[in-house]
Amino acid sequence: AKGAGRNDYRFFSPEMDARAHDKLRLENDLRRAIERHELLLHYQPQMDLLTGKVRGVEALVRWLHPRLGLIAPNDFIPLAEETGLILEIGDWVLNTACQQLRRWREQGQTDLVLAVNLSARQLQRPGLDLGVARTLAASGVPAHCLELEITESSVMQDPEQALALLRRLHQMGVLFAIDDFGTGYTNFAYLKQLPLQALKIDRSFIQGLSQAGGDDAAIAEAIIAMSRKMNLRVIAEGVETEEQRLRLQSLGCDGIQGYLLARPMPAEALMAWLAGHAAH
Ligand code: C2E
Ligand code: CA
Ligand code: CA
Ligand code: CA
């Protein structure tokens, strides 16, 4: 550019232009993804370690892009958050997952708890509690069968607003779990004010469980001990080995989720998986 500083060429590099273009294109595609029915949900079971029974399932969104194929949430949720599209996507996820739970309940799975991820933007929107109430009413799903997963950082973006919202939803009977616990900057004084029922230990700490005396194992143990004292359910995410499961069981962890049990899968596959699991 004329008259620009000598380092300005960086802003006009073809690669960067291509990347910005790709991003804009992806954003436009994402804007239409819902109406074009390109979003889909997979469900991953969560097992109770005490009873060995499936306690619930977590809904995880995917995007089947017509040109690029299946896109993982980590590759489009950040863009959705940045652009605000996450509000519309979040509504779609909650509605679709609750409608699915209704069908499972009609097929006799009345004890299943449905876990749904909420992003920071959703927690900042004042009408969320009304939206959730409407979705529950429309699907006939009882509030105590819905567990909303939130992260420490998303709560801390606007603590006052988040606390008020969580309290209203808690009064309705909705459950809350802190997701990826241990990876954010935890404010314990604030955390204890939240109406929480569960903590999910981040996968990164579970991976280090087998190294005796390692830091990850120490952190996982501390989170489990603290959760028990605070009367919170504690769930380990990303459990991949039998060794990890046994270790978690001996530490008193309440539940596990991970590839050891099952990968996230489409709703029909989950129903078949549940039938097989119950037969064992
Ligand atoms: P998350 O909520 O922590 O979800 C768990 C992620 O770990 C999932 O990745 C799941 O497939 C993966 N996982 C489960 N078990 C194992 C295991 O044993 N080993 C390994 N290596 N991975 C395992 P996924 O589905 O790609 O989702 C990534 C993240 O995207 C989620 O992390 C969540 O933060 C976000 N996400 C997914 N769906 C939604 C949604 O509907 N709304 C929002 N706001 N975020 C979502
Ligand atoms: Ca989650
Ligand atoms: Ca998680
Ligand atoms: Ca995670």
Contact 258, 206 (CB under 8 A): yes
- Per-residue pLDDT, averaged over 13-34, amounts to 84
Confidence of residue 2 (pLDDT cuts 50, 70, 90): very low
For the question of an ipTM over 0.85, the answer is yes
Q: State which of 64-68, 110-114, 190-194 shows the largest mean pLDDT.
A: 110-114
Give the helix/strand (H/E) hosting 194: none
The CA 178 to ligand 2 mean position distance, Å, reads: 8
Taking the mean position of all CA atoms in its chain, how far away is CA 248? 21
Q: Which atom of ligand 1 is nearest to the CA of 60?
A: 38
* Residue-wise pLDDT tens digits, 96-108: 999 999 999 999 9
Best substitution site from 30, 64, 77, 263 to test ligand 1's pocket, by max atoms within 8 Å of Cβ? 77
CB 205 within 8 A of CB 194: no
Taking all residues of the chain, what is their mean pLDDT, rounded to a whole number?
A: 92
Look at residue 18 and tell me whether its pLDDT is greater than 80.
no
**CA–CA dist 171, 221 (Å, integer):** 31
Helices (H) and strands (E) in the chain, counts: 12, 9
- Within 8 A by CB and 6+ apart from 175, the residues are 113, 144, 146, 147, 148, 197, 198
Pocket of ligand 1 (CB under 6 A): 44, 60-61, 72-74, 77, 93, 117, 119, 179-180, 203, 237-240, 258-259, 264
| DSSP type of residue 208 | G
- Residue 89, token pair as written in the block: 């996507």
List the structure tokens of 276: 């097989």
Atom of ligand 1 nearest to the CA of 257: 15
